[in-house]
Structure 1
Amino acid sequence: MPNPNVIFKIFQFNMAESLPDDLKRKVAALNLFGLVSVTLFTVYAIIGLLTEADVIVIASLAALLLTLLSILFLNRRGKVTLSAYTLILSYMVVGLGMAYTGVSDQFSLLNSYFLPLFAVFMLSSNRALLVSSLYLGLVSALLFFPLFDRVIAFSLSFKITFFVSYILVFLTSWFVEYFWISVQSDLEKQVLVERNATKRKDEFIASLSHQIRTPLNNIMVIANLVDSLAEDEKMKDLIDTIHASTNNLVNVVNSMVEVANVDVTERDSFIINFNLSQTVANTIKLFAHQYSSNIQFNLKIDEIIPSSLGGEPVKIKQIFLNLIESLIKAKSNNKILIDIVVKKLSESPERVELLFELRSNSPIFIPTGDGRNQLITNDMVGNAIGSQVLVDVLDLRITQRLIESNGGRLSINLHSETSVFSFPYSFYKVVDINALTREELDGQSMQNNLSTSPNSLMRKVDLADANVLLVEDNLINQKIVILSLKKLVKNIEIANNGKEALDKFGTSRFDIILMDIQMPIMNGIVTTRKIREIESSTNTHTPIIAITANALQGDREECISAGMDEYLSKPFQIEVLIQKMKKLLQGS
């Protein structure tokens, strides 16, 4: 059985590639109906010539011209409604011509039946009723009343047959269309109900996971503290049992959370003015901090691209974080060169579309079941389904959805010696008189900034001398962290929410911040962004570690994109937190 989508594609005639899918289907239907009409009107014209019916010939040629106008001009420009009215007018012209000349045969009936069918399926119910009634009224006037001294050639039985059958065709078409719309509406309601149910389930699982992870983390930390104090072997064995049971429960929670995959593209959009060069460069610096000896970045942004754009910088950071991590974690040699090029694709009065390309001199390997790494290229997965296979293999599904939410598509080209990711992304144009000059933001300046010490904005501090700001609304969690760190750091101050954290940050100097995410008044994401805004004017950078029970896909990317330096998902080992704190305090 032929695929309806293939048929629709054929009858689009490559004229509607830029149109939405619903308009594409209507254009295809109009083209199909138009081709049938061209054939029918041509037959009418030939019959008129053979029977010397001049009115039929003129009416058929006029209808033929109207149909060609619809196919070749109106459909090409996506003027679907006007095209539908033009085709309906063509059938009116032919039908009235036949009624005027007294043609009484199957052709006249067939022509009249086409009009209500087409009107019902292409116009709204009210407009279809109006058009069909208008045609029926005009034809009835010619059938039942002598006009222009013409000879009436229609029999009474034909008049009654035409009148009744025309009404029946219209009513049948209307009921079929009404039934189809009702079925579609019911299906859409069912889909909406299922989506809402799935969303509620995901939100419940996310909330349940958050509630479980916090006490789990407390159990693990307390067990570690008790283990360090216990001297009796039997006591140590009991504590080890607590550790093992807690780890098993952690695995259960992780398996449960994998079911809840919240789509990052459904989150609220926040269009703001931002500097693209700074956004990309700051994202690169996150990796330059950690891999300064193994990775070299070259950033080149086309000078004709406006320095200030309107869009969502958080999503751009998320995309770059995921793509660069894919290149780094699957590296095949010790030294990686990553070239990042940004070019302008197109421009309109309101928007500008850019092309981002990340090119690495290293191929990509993926781990196999036997502990070895397997080279992966486009040739291995084939061209037809290769792109989606590579997205799944490299775990770039979130990245792909972020790009698709902007109307683009992630392109992956992997070869034996190079790896290339590219994608288009569009932004709004903005007029920003306070924007930095191009000389301050050109590619050479960015490259110089990247080549300098990646931690030039951070002050190196030993853990024992560190002033720590703990931003946490849960009293038990506050006590747990203080018990774990109070002997290792100089001082710990507590902020119960983001607003308190900003107040303390403005009056005191902290060497590192431990930030919870879900808090009343102001959450950790907003707090971090405001801290980074404050620091942008002081040329300083305070390390921030996210300590959160959020562990769904995209949570880590959102934290890093907001400006945090590290991310810890509860439950975690306290040694891991201490290691990350030391690393950030030493700027390594």
Structure 2
Amino acid sequence: MQNIVFLKYYKQILDRIAARETDPLNQARVKVLCYGLTANLALTSIATLLYFIQGPPLQFFRGLIAFAIAVVSVYLVYHFPVWRKVSHFICIVLSLVVWSNLLVYVKGTNIPTLQFAFLVVVFSFYVLGQKWGLIYSLLNILPIVAYTVLDGKHYFFSNIPAQPISQPAYVFVVTYNFLLIVFLHYHFFKTFNQNILHVTKAKNDLSSMNKVLQQAMKELEKTSKAKMDFLSTMSHELRTPLNGVIGLSNIMLMENPREDQKENLSVLKFSAENLLSLINDILDLNKLESGKTELEKIPVDLTDLLQKITASLQLKATEKGLVFELVVDKFLENKIVNSDPTRITQVLINLINNAIKFTETGSVKACLEVVDHSKELLTVRFSVTDTGIGIPPEKQADIFEPFTQASKSTTRQFGGTGLGLAIVKKILLMFNTSIHLESIPGMGTKFWFDIQFAYSEREAKRRSEAPAIQNELQGLKVLVAEDNLVNVMVIKKILSHWDINPKIAENGAVAIHLLKAEDFDVVLMDLHMPEMDGYEASKRIRQLQDPAKSSVPIIALTASVSNAVDRKVLDAGMDGYLSKPFNPDDLYDKLIRLTASEQ
């Protein structure tokens, strides 16, 4: 019973010493060292006692020294993380024993000498590794080989001592050395097998985990696709009635209503557009997070773009009594850059809208500044500065996260979902840049970012040589493919203000039939219709034999907004699309441009 308790206590001590190392192999090395030191204490104590009783005195003193070394080594390993140094010390001591046997005590080779040499080889390789194992092996093997070669008479000399020795002590040492050599191999082979089993188990666990992760990825992709499909469906279902509300609001505002009616219609339109803006933000964020959105590369006049953006927001600033200032670097005059005007507009409108929303008095300033330029590239700094409520330092990092604002009171007082700046951040990542923020609570905020563009000079003759376009669409032959009666009513009323009387097709098949029978200048194509949708109808139109009919401009009108829709519209051969509900001015501009290109 006492032996079991002792062994349990001894194992706990070994585990505690080995736990200083994190590598399982090093833990095994520490245990080998501890086992060897423990066994050496027993060996040296018994051998020393035998030599004391039977002699000779030299062996007795060697035993005392070995016992003292064993005690000091155990103390050091137990109290300090110096197992490597102790291992080197033991290898050196054993090497000295081998050398002393060869040169002084035995003056030749005997069984213990060979055992000690073999112990050094095994111990150094197992405990200290390949490099030190090789060094200590050569240090012990080469002298034995050299002595054997130079002796010339005696080979593998095993039992010719220089002086009488104690037979029991000799037998004990030889037996002990053999047992220790066997134990070293046994322990390391056991540890090797355990590590192999551990690695195999880890490999199997990793393989199982990979299978689980692959299944999880498939589920995630499936969930993501379902989410995209759901958002696309909801987008269509929400935009369709909004198209009727906003479209009819625009029509009634175009019909010179009374002042009281105009105010009511403006409120109705404003509320519907706010709802549309929320839907757009959620869909935009989802598109950006999917990582499949790509930037356009088309010619853009940044000065003209910023002027249009600020003009569209001027009224909102004026209504709050704010000074709205636009500053554009003169270097940008007559410069054309290659970029994505839609995404730049989206970023600037979000930033300027926020600046106006969170500023009660003072000013809002939008700036374009060229901070660096070469012959082909220029870097433009966009900045929006306001004198609004500011943002506390501890909240400045949070406002770029989705659905987050500086505080709950901000949401209650100013409204909004907190999506705008998250969208700004993700769009700017597509431009390989980032948004920067400087703000002092109660004094104002400045947002800025830099974008590098390839640019060129605008040709001076470009405007003068452009074909004259009449500012009217009277007599334009338009075919509208639309199955929703409310949308049909809206589009007919909008077109009637431009003296256009469109032909209506309730699905794609009817649209193709009408196009074959008559000539049209433009086709306005809804994408989701019964019998034949807009995609299939557009593909078949592009396959018509008559070149004039197969090349007719097609504008998609869709309440669905997603990356897939963008690609499918172009793949089907359409010339572009407008998202429902659309602004009549946007439709007018598209019709004017298409008419000009056809002319």
- Look at both structures and tell me which one has the larger radius of gyration over its CA atoms: 2
With the length of structure 2 as denominator, give the TM-score of the two structures.
0.45
